[in-house]
Chains A and B, each alone.
Chain A
Amino acid sequence: MGRKYANPPIIEAICEFRLSPQTQWDLTVPGLLYERLKQEFPHKEQRVLQEVELTQSPEVIQQQIRTGERLLFFTEGKRMLVQVGTRLLAVHALAPYPNWEGFKPRIETSFKSLQDTVEIHGLERILLHYINRVKIPTQCPKLNEYLEFYPFIGSRLPTDTTSFLMGVEFSYADGRDRCRVQLAPTPSSEEGKTVFILELEYFLAHAGRVAATDALAWVEEAHSRVEEVFEGCITDNLRRLFEEVK
């Protein structure tokens, strides 16, 4: 069981399943899914979107533009939602984060409903993504006092930094999974405060390596890893700001 915070920095958590191209999908699937999910996610919204795919080869870069539709099913308070696109199911939790015990059942319900609706022939990708907005109540904080994941800047480099972007990918499960961690400052309108976006994305790096029947177990494991990495990124000073609940 991980630590719990009264004031968690999570602004969005996403659990996403992308199905293999071999999975049969037609226009009726989102509607059937809504029928199964409408008790928990009664508010439906439809959006048109455009996907742009760039393909690079040694000679040329090709661009393909596709138009698609997404259906969004919101909970009553619109703090959680399910997005359904072609061979895509994503479950989102927005701030205030309901903690894992609140988020996980929605993921399970949604994925099981998907399994009941379509025959899944492989998962191309699974992802658990947490976006944290870390607010530090000082203008120019010493990063090492709050974070254990920050850029190292050598002594021969300038000390006045205006911005940075830092990212690392960690390998898990013999390379099957990866956890991408990114940190970057973001503008703050509150005087005397510094804000960072800390993103943690744990994803299946190799398509088809997890069966649909094991997907929810994978998500549980992913959550444990993300929790470890998150705790590894922060210091007790931040834990105090997040108001750890003992």
Chain B
Amino acid sequence: MHAIVVPEVSVEPYRVWFLRDIRSFTHTIEPKFGSQAQSRFLDQAIFTLSTFAPERRPDTSSSLFREALLHLRAARVEYDVEVDAEEVLEYLLRFPDMLEAVNQVIRTVREHLPEAQLELVVYHDPEIEDEYLVLYARFSQYTSAVMERIRAARRAYSPYIRDKSGWILLTTDFRQPRK
């Protein structure tokens, strides 16, 4: 004879998470369970074993690693940026004050260059043993206005990276967007 154990349904909060940039995340966590919000929720839930435990569970820690993961996921999902996740994650943990800044830069660049294909990578400069983030913007047509628009986007995001320990540069390699 097997006993069926029905877990008590708790009225305690069963999931709490924090997001660093209200503007960038608002669309994904608006108070309804749209397909995007749900998938993000499930995605993140893989880090929380206790999601389904019946009693009150402690929420997740304030880990920068987890925060960086959220930011990179937002870059991909919200702003359609290709990201070299492993390297960028490593970079962000080496320069943790860049976490918030990168998020702001990506949002700003996307506002300025809505049609560009964006790719975020870590650039290794072999000459001076330096490395920094590069956000490549690629366009199907390179008109004379492209570089001016890139410069305008750089001016717009520059306040976010002032006095940071790391660096991010928006540029183009004049390649065609990947299909």
Contact = CB atoms under 8 A, between A and B. Distances in A.
B62 A189 contact: no
Interface stretch (A26-34, A106-114, A125-133): A125-133
B61 A52 contact: no
Contacts, number: 117
A51 interface: yes
Contacts of B22: 48-50, 67
Interface string A168-199: 11000000000010101011111000010001
Interface in B14-67: 14-22, 25, 29, 31, 33, 46-47, 49-50, 58, 61-65
Interface size, B (range): 35 or more
A33 to B, nearest CB: 15
A223 interface: no
Contacts of A47: 20, 100
Interface string A132-171: 0000000000000000000000000000000001011100
A52 B17 contact: yes
A41 interface: no
B9 interface: yes
B97 A188 contact: no
Contacts of A67: 22
A182 B19 contact: no
A129 B13 CA distance: 21
B131 interface: no
B93 interface: yes
Nearest to B26: A50
Contact of B84 (A14, A72, A92, A189): A189
Nearest to A189: B86
A74 B65 contact: no
B29 A52 contact: yes
| A49, A127, A187 — most chain B CB neighbours (10 Å) | A49
Given A88-B62, A169-B50, A180-B50, A52 B20 contact: no
A58 interface: yes
A38 B55 CA distance: 39
A126 to B, nearest CB: 10
A163 to B, nearest CB: 10
A95 B19 CA distance: 23
Given A47-B100, A90-B62, A56 B10 contact: yes
A92 to B, nearest CB: 6
Nearest to A95: B93
Interface string A90-102: 1010110000000
Contacts of A11: 65, 93
A238 to B, nearest CB: 20
A168 B50 CA distance: 9
A49 B49 contact: no
A121 interface: no
Contact of B93 (A52, A56, A94): A94
A13 B133 CA distance: 25
A61 B165 CA distance: 42
B52 to A, nearest CB: 11
A167 B45 CA distance: 12
* Closest A-B pairs by Cβ, 3 of them: A167-B49, A129-B61, A90-B62
Interface of B: 9-22, 25, 29, 31, 33, 46-47, 49-50, 58, 61-65, 84-87, 93-97, 100, 165
Given A50-B29, A61-B33, 19 more contacts: A12-B63, A12-B64, A45-B100, A50-B19, A52-B17, A53-B15, A54-B13, A56-B10, A58-B9, A70-B62, A78-B97, A81-B64, A94-B64, A94-B94, A95-B93, A127-B58, A169-B49, A182-B47, A184-B46
6 contacts: A14-B63, A51-B18, A55-B14, A85-B62, A127-B58, A131-B63
